[in-house]
């Protein structure tokens, strides 16, 4: 039984992970958190203590580490004795942290695909570029590595698997991510602006008719009528989970839809057209080399700072269509989360909450053995039911809308 946890990263998602680990430190054990900036780790631990989140007495410790230094991460894993690493650092560090886990035998859990800072939007499927190259090595060394175990990717992969398990064949998976919340700022991104904008500046890859297809961002929009948040416009976007679901369910069309308001699109469009979202440095008249996207990140609100005033709800779900007993069937499997409730519980906004709770659920399943696969897995390759049970308990209940109506997944 693996128990002691090392959290990599100290942003808004890491804060949620730390709180949720603390609330479950009877199952998990010692909690370590490490990032480039020690003070950010310490302030997360202070918040855990302030809320009295620790279920029982135990270790809670901050560390400084350069997560791009595999040897340093491996050393930290050995020094702390951590058996589970929850990596919620920048997507730029993932490959290095994964290598440290393979080296030390610790279980690895992340919430996003590795990204090379210099490359935007690589060729699909994205998991092939870095993670899946290490799959055989994980199997060979018996290392559990659960890829993309946040909400999307993560829970939405489990939603897909859950729906498909009830069908004879699947025809399409449409993942819809709506944030109907209001942070009250002129403009802000809900997570690291650098990662957020990179997601939308590249080509939109999707899987249709058993092949990869491409669209431009905001080229394809569609109105959705969803539980709780109501009618919302979403646009086809590139997203990690499309790249594993398409490989695991090659007969299904796989698309991702992200909700955007007109204001977001306008600001994004202006910045993009002016070249301010570029990751390529430009030189000012004074000779200073600046990466525009990094300056944009610097002027935008820190996503963590949005939490106190954030109101409203998110709805993220999968519309899965298929055939069962010769009949066409469709299920919408979804979760609704509330920004203000998340802040009250763990001091974070809803987007961080939905991203940070699932990897802790996954860690609990690794600890219990249910998901301790001894190899590399995407979430849809694992049994979704114990995952939903943990998520229900941790504050992210799964519901289903189908021919029977709108009901909990297990009702």
Distance of CA 385 to the CA centre of its chain: 19
Q: How far is 75 from 32, CA to CA, in rounded Å?
A: 13
Q: Which helix (H) or strand (E) holds 34?
A: strand 31-35
- Contact between 13 and a copy of itself by CB under 8 A: the answer reads no
- Contact between 216 and a copy of itself by CB under 8 A: the answer reads no
CB 292 within 8 A of CB 275: yes
- Contact between 403 and a copy of itself by CB under 8 A: the answer reads no
Selected binder of a copy of itself within 46, 282, 393, 408 (CB under 8 A): 282
Distance in Å, CB of 34 to a copy of itself, minimum: 18
- Other Cβ atoms less than 10 A from the Cβ of 129: the count is 18
- Contact between 264 and a copy of itself by CB under 8 A: the answer reads no
Q: How far is 243 from 128, CA to CA, in rounded Å?
A: 9
Distance in Å, CB of 215 to a copy of itself, minimum: 21
- Contact between 284 and a copy of itself by CB under 8 A: the answer reads yes
Distance in Å, CB of 197 to a copy of itself, minimum: 12
Selected binder of a copy of itself within 38, 72, 137, 267 (CB under 8 A): 267
**Can you tell me whether residue 352 is helix, strand or coil?**
helix
DSSP label at residue 132: G
CA torsion angle 93 99 105 107 (round to 10): 40
Selected binder of a copy of itself within 49, 133, 294, 407 (CB under 8 A): 294
Selected binder of a copy of itself within 216, 266, 393, 410 (CB under 8 A): 266
Selected binder of a copy of itself within 1, 46, 216, 295 (CB under 8 A): 295
- Contact between 290 and a copy of itself by CB under 8 A: the answer reads yes
Selected binder of a copy of itself within 44, 101, 234, 300 (CB under 8 A): 300
- Which residues are CB-neighbours of 311 under 8 A, at least 6 positions away? 181, 182, 184, 339, 340
Distance in Å, CB of 285 to a copy of itself, minimum: 7
Selected binder of a copy of itself within 227, 292, 309, 386 (CB under 8 A): 292
Distance in Å, CB of 72 to a copy of itself, minimum: 19
Residue the block writes with tokens 């993220």 = 316
Distance in Å, CB of 301 to a copy of itself, minimum: 10
- Contact between 56 and a copy of itself by CB under 8 A: the answer reads no
Nearer to a copy of itself by C-beta: 49 or 263?
A: 263
Nearer to a copy of itself by C-beta: 299 or 403?
A: 299
Say if residue 230 is exposed, middle or buried (CB neighbours under 10 Å; 0-12, 13-18, 19+): exposed
Angle at the Cα of 96 (from 94 to 102), degrees rounded to 5? 100
Selected binder of a copy of itself within 1, 71, 216, 274 (CB under 8 A): 274
Q: Which tokens go with 102?
A: 């393979």
368-397 exposure pattern, b = at least 16 Cβ within 10 A, e = fewer: eebbbbebbbbbbebebbbbbbbbbebbbb
Q: How far is 391 from 373, CA to CA, in rounded Å?
A: 19
x/- mask, a copy of itself, residues 151-190, rule CB under 8 A, reads -----------------------------------xx---
- Contact between 298 and a copy of itself by CB under 8 A: the answer reads yes
Distance of CA 363 to the CA centre of its chain: 14
CB 155 within 8 A of CB 336: no
Q: How far is 64 from 125, CA to CA, in rounded Å?
A: 33
Nearer to a copy of itself by C-beta: 299 or 411?
A: 299
Q: How far is 375 from 137, CA to CA, in rounded Å?
A: 8
Distance in Å, CB of 187 to a copy of itself, minimum: 6
Q: Using omega within 30 degrees of 0 as the cis cutoff, is the peptide bond preceding 44 cis? A: no
- Contact between 370 and a copy of itself by CB under 8 A: the answer reads no
Distance in Å, CB of 385 to a copy of itself, minimum: 40
How many residues belong to the site for a copy of itself (CB under 8 A)? 27
Q: How many CA within 13 A on the CB side of residue 213? A: 13
- Contact between 410 and a copy of itself by CB under 8 A: the answer reads no
Q: Which tokens go with 305?
A: 């700072």
Nearer to a copy of itself by C-beta: 265 or 370?
A: 265
- Contact between 275 and a copy of itself by CB under 8 A: the answer reads yes
- Contact between 325 and a copy of itself by CB under 8 A: the answer reads no
- Which residues are CB-neighbours of 117 under 8 A, at least 6 positions away? 92, 279
- Contact between 118 and a copy of itself by CB under 8 A: the answer reads no
Binding residues for a copy of itself (CB under 8 A): 186-187, 266-267, 270-271, 273-276, 278, 282-286, 288, 290-292, 294-300
């Amino acid at each position: 039984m693996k128990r002691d946890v090392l959290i990599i990263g100290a942003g808004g998602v890491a804060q949620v992970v730390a709180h949720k680990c603390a609330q479950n430190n009877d199952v998990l054990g010692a909690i370590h958190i490490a990032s480039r900036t020690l003070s950010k780790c310490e302030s997360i631990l202070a918040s855990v203590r302030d809320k009295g989140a620790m279920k029982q007495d135990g270790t809670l410790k901050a560390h400084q580490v350069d997560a791009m230094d595999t040897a340093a991460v491996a050393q930290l894993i050995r020094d702390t004795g951590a058996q589970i690493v929850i990596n919620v650092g920048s997507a730029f560090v993932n490959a290095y942290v994964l290598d440290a886990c393979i080296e030390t035998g610790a279980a690895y859990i992340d919430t996003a695909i590795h990204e090379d800072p210099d490359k935007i939007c690589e060729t699909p499927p994205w998991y092939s570029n870095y993670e899946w190259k290490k799959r055989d090595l994980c199997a060979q060394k018996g290392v559990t590595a659960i890829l993309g175990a946040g909400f999307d990717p993560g829970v939405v992969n489990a939603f897909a698997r859950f729906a498909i398990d009830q069908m004879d064949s699947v025809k399409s998976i449409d993942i819809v991510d709506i944030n109907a919340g209001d942070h009250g700022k002129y403009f802000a991104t809900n997570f690291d602006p650098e990662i957020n904008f990179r997601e939308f500046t590249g080509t939109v890859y999707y899987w249709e008719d058993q092949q990869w297809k491409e669209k431009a961002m905001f080229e394809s929009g569609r109105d959705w009528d969803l539980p709780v948040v109501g009618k919302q416009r979403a646009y086809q976007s590139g997203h990690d989970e499309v790249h594993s679901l398409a490989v695991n369910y090659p007969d299904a069309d796989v698309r991702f839809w992200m909700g955007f308001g007109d204001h977001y699109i306008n600001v994004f469009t202006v910045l993009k057209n002016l070249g301010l979202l570029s990751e390529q440095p430009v030189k000012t008249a004074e000779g200073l080399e600046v990466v525009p996207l990094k300056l944009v990140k610097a002027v935008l609100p820190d996503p963590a700072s949005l939490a106190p005033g954030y109101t409203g709800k998110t709805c993220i779900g999968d519309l899965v269509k298929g055939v069962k007993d010769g009949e066409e069937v469709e299920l919408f499997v979804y979760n609704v989360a509330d920004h203000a409730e998340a802040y009250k519980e763990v001091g974070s906004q809803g987007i961080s909450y939905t991203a940070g709770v699932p990897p802790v659920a996954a860690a609990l399943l690794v600890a219990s053995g249910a998901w301790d696969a001894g190899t590399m897995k995407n979430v849809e390759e694992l049994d979704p039911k114990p995952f939903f049970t943990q998520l229900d308990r941790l504050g992210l209940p799964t519901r289903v809308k189908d021919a029977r109506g709108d009901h909990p997944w297990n009702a």
